[in-house]
Structure 1
Amino acid sequence: MATLKDVAKASGLTVGTVSRVLNNRGYISDKTREKVYQVMKELNYQPNEMARSLSKQKNNTIGIILPQIEHPYFAKVLGRLEKEASKRGYRTTVFVSKSKKEREEECIEMCKSARVSGVVLCSGCFGTEKFVGLDFPLITLERSIDQATSGIECDNYQGGVLATELLIEKGCKKLMYIGGRSAGEGIAMPGDYREVGFKDTCEKYKVEHLVMVTDKEQFDTLEYYSFVRNKIEKNPDVDGVFTSSDIIGAYVLQACRDLSISVPQNMKIVGFDDVNIAQFTTPGLTTIHQPVEQMAEQAISDIAMIDAGKVVPSRTVFPVTLVERGTT
């Protein structure tokens, strides 16, 4: 009778890789999966269900990796993920990466050691190779990493289009986009798509525009204000700004106040996320709402489904909506 080792030897793979195929764990390419199934058929290999059951024993915990928890958006995401996980009987363990590649790798290793049931990754500074060999499902939330993982995101491009079209409809003649830097090669950040949506729309309507992307750390709030004020001050003819987050939008509003620029009379502002701060600024911040509740629910649902041996979509995109307030 053929064994797991026989299948691994015949297919030229490790026992661990064959085991992941059988248990539907981690990232496995379609080519590798088909190869294992073909060898199993040739050897008439029958998986030992009891052994498979034992190999699947986890501690019913979901790891959540965030770049930080102080940022209102990630605080909102964390709250929803924990709520959805609890509904399904999972505990959660939170890891903070500070958007550092080395720290993210440490977080993944800690999740391996803890034998988690799955991981939701909201922070991503490394590529596909770091996900090969994981024995638990990993779902990325608002991070696109070489299309190698199951990902959930909102329609960031369409959000950029909606925001820009509103500014144009409101009569703005020169627009500016302000956002954060990309994470690195092969890793698409939400702001990248928002920026492209902005640029494509400006070009479509032949509207003059500028793109200002900071080289500062993405969430360095103290440095962001100085950066934003400098760009507003140096471009007095700009009358409409789209920002990649509500936090940056609030900085634009503060900079306009400090520079005696009237909002929305002489400057119109649209943010992105629709976190609480957008409702509490004066005037309230017009923004693009992303459905964090549904996205979090889908992330936990996908982990539960993979954990049960079911197949989930490689990419799920949720629509966004425009929420108009006082800054436009």
Structure 2
Amino acid sequence: MATIKDVAALAGVTPTTVSRCINNRGYIKDETKQKIQKAMEELGYRPNGVARALSKQTTDTIAVIVPHITHPYFATLISKLEQSANAHGFKMFLMSSREDDARKESYLKMSLDSRVSGIIVCSEEIESQNLQKYGTPVVEIETHANPNTPHIICDNKEGGRLAAKALIDAGCRNLLHIGGIEDAHVPADDRALGFRETCEASNVKHSEVSYPSRVYSSLDYMKYIEEILSKFPDIDGIFASSDLIAAQVCQVARRMGRIIPGDLKLIGFDGVYISEMATPSITTIRQPLSEMAEAAVSIIDAIQNNRPYESEHIFPVELIRRETL
């Protein structure tokens, strides 16, 4: 197996120059860089990633922590984060916080031991201040457990307002908001606030419900939705806190003889692929996930390169009209 000394000998330079070239440190003539690169290719030499991490103090890797991998929102966000990471020259590895506590701690230790360049947290289960004490840059997306952590959110309150207004403008007079997890506190809770204020300003009857954490863990809302529709038989408009819930509302409503959008109108939230694939296609509040992912990765890139950055980003949302309204 070729060593850095072999590369140096073939290129006619010192091992120190090869090391500086590999780690992009200091000025090296282009001609010298080309000689070193050619020597590495001829010898099949690959730099030791661990050694480079020790030298640089970090790897060019971002760890991403999400509560679910299969949830359509997080699946889409993961894809957008990977695209942005690649564009900035980072690799990415993924961890799901919905595992047992021991495995979760193991994953966190792995990312810190691997000297990642930064950690993007998309789960309220992870307290980012516990990560920051190790000196690793942390960015939160749609969770704000630590006020001192850079965070990326969409305008959740405006999303709730847009949804309520669209349902009211469509003639609905008895609205229901299917919100988030019981006893959880995340930025998405502001969707209910915007919904409520708009309904009250228009003097429209409205109700709000949340669901147990076990329902969220399973991602199967069918039985819960059936209970809600039975409890509120007179509702004529639903604002669901995710497109996944909205898609399951379509299935349960059909089974219960409710016609969407005939006697029941529906709006989801997120603007991910499932809203287009459902039948009927779902009117939704779209989050700009590409822009949010880019902002998160850009902050880590800025911290690594000692550039200024904004610690708070609130992105606008928009109503996407489809067949359920």
- Give 1:282's aligned residue: 279
User: 1:205-234, CA deviations, whole angstroms, 9 ceiling, x for partnerless residues?
Assistant: 121111110013324223x11001110122
Amino acid of the residue matched to residue 192 of structure 2? E
Question: In the alignment, is the contact (CA less than 8 A) between 1:137 and 1:303 conserved in 2?
Answer: yes
2:123 aligns to what SS in structure 1? Answer: coil
Of residues 129-138 and 97-106 in structure 1, the stretch that sits farther from structure 2 once superposed is 97-106
Counterparts in 2 of 1:190 and 1:113: CA distance versus 1, 3 Å: same
Amino acid of the residue matched to residue 112 of structure 1? L
Q: Does residue 304 of structure 2 align to residue 307 of structure 1?
A: yes
1:95-134 equivalences in 2 (<5 Å): 95-98=95-98, 104-127=104-127, 129-134=129-134
Amino acid of the residue matched to residue 199 of structure 1? R
- Give 1:293's aligned residue: 290
- Give 2:84's aligned residue: 84
Displacement of 1:73: 1.0
Q: Does residue 199 of structure 2 align to residue 206 of structure 1?
A: no
Structure showing greater Rg: 2
Task: Mark the runs of 5 or more structure 2 residues left unpaired by the alignment.
Answer: 1-52
Question: In the alignment, is the contact (CA less than 8 A) between 2:132 and 2:138 conserved in 1?
Answer: no
Q: Does residue 257 of structure 2 align to residue 260 of structure 1?
A: yes
Displacement of 1:203: 1.4
Q: Does residue 67 of structure 2 align to residue 67 of structure 1?
A: yes
Q: Percent identity, please.
A: 37
Q: Distance in 1 between matches of 2:55 and 2:183?
A: 35
Alignment length, in residue pairs?
A: 272
User: 1:126-177, CA deviations, whole angstroms, 9 ceiling, x for partnerless residues?
Assistant: 5464244131211111112242210011111110110011001111111001
Amino acid of the residue matched to residue 141 of structure 2? L
Amino acid of the residue matched to residue 133 of structure 2? G
Question: In the alignment, is the contact (CA less than 8 A) between 1:175 and 1:239 conserved in 2?
Answer: yes
- Give 2:219's aligned residue: 221
User: 1:263-307, CA deviations, whole angstroms, 9 ceiling, x for partnerless residues?
Assistant: 111000000011111111121100001100111111111100011
RMSD: 2.0
Amino acid of the residue matched to residue 228 of structure 1? I
Q: Distance in 1 between matches of 2:206 and 2:253?
A: 18
TM-score, length of structure 1 as denominator length? 0.78
Q: Distance in 2 between matches of 1:269 and 1:75?
A: 23
1:234-253 equivalences in 2 (<5 Å): 234-253=231-250
Task: Mark the runs of 5 or more structure 1 residues left unpaired by the alignment.
Answer: 1-52
Counterparts in 2 of 1:81 and 1:248: CA distance versus 1, 3 Å: same
- Give 2:316's aligned residue: 319
